[in-house]
Amino acid sequence: MLNDPKVLIIEADKENGKELEAVLKFINYSPVYVDDCKQWQEAIEEAGQILAVMVGTCKAERTPATLLNEIHQFNEHLPIYLLAEKGKEPTVTIDTGSCILGRLDIPPNYAQLTSAMHQAEIYTDSHHGAEPAQRPVDLFRSLVGSSRAVQNVRKMMEQVADSEANVLILGESGTGKEVVARNLHYHSSRRGEPFVPVNCGAIPGDLLESELFGHEKGAFTGAISAREGRFEMAEGGTLFLDEIGDMSLTMQVKILRVLQERTFERVGSNKSITSNVRIIAATHRDLESAISEGEFREDLYYRLNVFPIEMPPLRDRVEDIPLLVNELVRRIEHEKRGSVRLSPGAIYALCQYNWPGNVRELANLVERVAILHPYGVVEAGDLPEKFRIDIEELDTELLGDALIGSPVTSDDLDPRLPRDGLNLKEHLSSLEISYIKQALEDSGGVVAHAAKRLGMRRTTLVEKLRKYRLQRSPTAP
């Protein structure tokens, strides 16, 4: 983000241009105004680094489309907003694939301008500089978080990663069981050998034996050639048996034999093949209940359950959601699939949701809002309806009307003093600034209305605006 964000305004209508300039100053940006569209390049070169360009009417010979093309050729990643009177569409069509991020109303709206500038900052940050450096492989990537449950998982992974023990990963669907398995393999002595996953629940029972052990030519109808199975593919490495609780009892017996004797035969062959693989299994089922119901073999369970790791559901680690969202956004940015930011209110709303799909569902949501709001700031009201219901009910019943829409951080869920302490004065000032900005947004920039919402006199709020340099003009409304 620029230290002194400058915004170029190109608007032939001087009244509109000056009004837009005044509002930008009010929200702490430095406007650079030109009423002649021929002067835009000189204005940029004189101003230096520009955060965004706002393009309105143009009285010169060139058309708005020509002007936009020139700006794009000058800097293809310079964010552009089209100005148009409220209720009217801009004269140029907005292409969602271009650097035209949207339209802005004339006369200007405080909240709309603030959101647009945040969007421009995100867009600029995501396109800044050269190709991003390849991020090193993180031991527990996608297992970010500070909750006690995640810390316990990390500790257990550290203890078992470099051993030869079989591991059984338990947990609901979407909690990241395969992520754990891949990290265990990566940090084991078998790292240089294959990691082979197989979903036992996705393969029909009559094909699973061939899939795991391979088959010889002519072993069954359709076996036109010999084929090696997953055990052979994983030789020397790790075989990940996902959803092993869905495996038939017949196959469970054959898996047990491999674990005990370290040998197997391809389908249609009587030649034994020695197997040197580490087994990591996972399931969302309660295997002990399955054993009592006769659906899972007790001897196989104890063979697999040498070192169990229980994956916590996301609803039991909601304090990790802000960090998980940041990690998922960084991944989208790293893969050059855009960017997005979630406001504190949106994060708070996500923390109230039950997350039946766990981290996988959260990842899908982040990708969805990145598509719907490219380089934008997603508020709680922008989230899909099922994520909004709980937060609205909670605000009304527990927090009261005064806090509806106010900024909430992850610290508000369970406020704790950091281990290293904090500067209380700076922390309180930061909170005060955040609430003042929110009140101004909700009041359309009218100081008197914002002061009433904050429960203070207008003169007191004006002094605070000056103190925090939120208002540059002493005559602002």
Question: Quick count: other Cβ atoms within 10 Å of Cβ 359?
Answer: 25
**255 or 222: which leads in pLDDT:** 255
Residue 329, in any domain of the structure: yes
pLDDT exceeds cutoff 70 at 89: no
Query: At 392, which CATH number?
Result: 1.10.8.60
Number of domains in the chain: 3
Judgement on whether residues 192 and 277 belong to the same structural domain of the protein: yes
Q: What is the pLDDT of residue 412?
A: 39
Mean pLDDT of the chain: 80
Average pLDDT over residues 384-407: 49
Average pLDDT over residues 434-444: 80
Q: What is the pLDDT of residue 454?
A: 85
Residue 141, in any domain of the structure: no
Judgement on whether residues 284 and 398 belong to the same structural domain of the protein: no
Average pLDDT over residues 227-251: 92
Give the structural domain span for 213.
148-311
Residue 142, in any domain of the structure: no
Identify the CA nearest to 127 among candidates 164, 67, 75, 65: 75
Give the pLDDT confidence of 135-158 residue by residue, as tens digits.
334 445 557 888 888 889 989 999
- Please identify, among 252, 276, 311, the residue that sits at the C-terminal boundary of a domain: 311
* Residue in the block written with tokens 């602002």: 476
Average pLDDT over residues 231-254: 93
Judgement on whether residues 385 and 450 belong to the same structural domain of the protein: yes
Question: By the 8 A CB rule, do 123 and 55 touch?
Answer: no
Residue 473, in any domain of the structure: no
pLDDT cut 70: percent of the chain above it = 82
The whole-angstrom separation of Cα 355 and Cα 364 is 12
Confidence of residue 396 (pLDDT cuts 50, 70, 90): very low
- Please identify, among 126, 161, 190, the residue that sits at the C-terminal boundary of a domain: 126
Q: Retrieve residue 334's tokens.
A: 């790293």
Confidence of residue 392 (pLDDT cuts 50, 70, 90): very low
Residues 6 or more apart in contact with residue 326 via CB below 8 angstroms: 144
Judgement on whether residues 342 and 234 belong to the same structural domain of the protein: no
Judgement on whether residues 277 and 342 belong to the same structural domain of the protein: no
Q: What is the pLDDT of residue 405?
A: 36
Confidence of residue 72 (pLDDT cuts 50, 70, 90): confident
Q: What is the pLDDT of residue 365?
A: 94
Q: Retrieve residue 287's tokens.
A: 């295997």
**316 or 26: which leads in pLDDT:** 316
CA distances 317 to 147, 148, 156, Å, are: 6, 8, 17
Q: What is the pLDDT of residue 441?
A: 79
Query: At 181, which CATH number?
Result: 3.40.50.300
Q: What is the pLDDT of residue 334?
A: 79
Residue 1, in any domain of the structure: no
Residues 6 or more apart in contact with residue 1 via CB below 8 angstroms: 121, 124, 125
Residue 418, in any domain of the structure: yes
Q: What is the pLDDT of residue 335?
A: 80
Q: What is the pLDDT of residue 333?
A: 83
Residue 197, in any domain of the structure: yes
Judgement on whether residues 332 and 449 belong to the same structural domain of the protein: yes
Q: What is the pLDDT of residue 129?
A: 47
Judgement on whether residues 365 and 383 belong to the same structural domain of the protein: yes
- Give ∠ CA 435-436-438 in degrees, rounded to 5: 65
Judgement on whether residues 331 and 286 belong to the same structural domain of the protein: no
Judgement on whether residues 161 and 307 belong to the same structural domain of the protein: yes
Lowest-confidence pick of 60-69, 227-236, 338-347: 60-69
pLDDT exceeds cutoff 90 at 3: no
Judgement on whether residues 43 and 109 belong to the same structural domain of the protein: yes
Lowest-confidence pick of 31-35, 95-99, 214-218, 365-369: 95-99
Q: What is the pLDDT of residue 461?
A: 83
Judgement on whether residues 295 and 382 belong to the same structural domain of the protein: no
pLDDT exceeds cutoff 90 at 303: yes
Query: At 101, which CATH number?
Result: 3.40.50.2300
Burial zone of 367 (CB within 10 Å; 0-12 exposed, 13-18 middle, 19+ buried)? middle
Q: What is the pLDDT of residue 404?
A: 34
Residue 221, in any domain of the structure: yes
Q: Is the pTM of this model over 0.95?
A: no
pLDDT exceeds cutoff 90 at 285: yes
pLDDT exceeds cutoff 80 at 402: no
pLDDT cut 90: percent of the chain above it = 29
**61 or 265: which leads in pLDDT:** 265
Judgement on whether residues 113 and 193 belong to the same structural domain of the protein: no
Q: Is the dihedral of CA 294, 202, 242, 369 positive or negative?
A: negative
**297 or 415: which leads in pLDDT:** 297
Question: Quick count: other Cβ atoms within 10 Å of Cβ 90?
Answer: 18
The whole-angstrom separation of Cα 429 and Cα 62 is 48
Confidence of residue 472 (pLDDT cuts 50, 70, 90): very low
**417 or 302: which leads in pLDDT:** 302
Give the pLDDT confidence of 176-197 residue by residue, as tens digits.
999 999 999 988 999 899 999 9
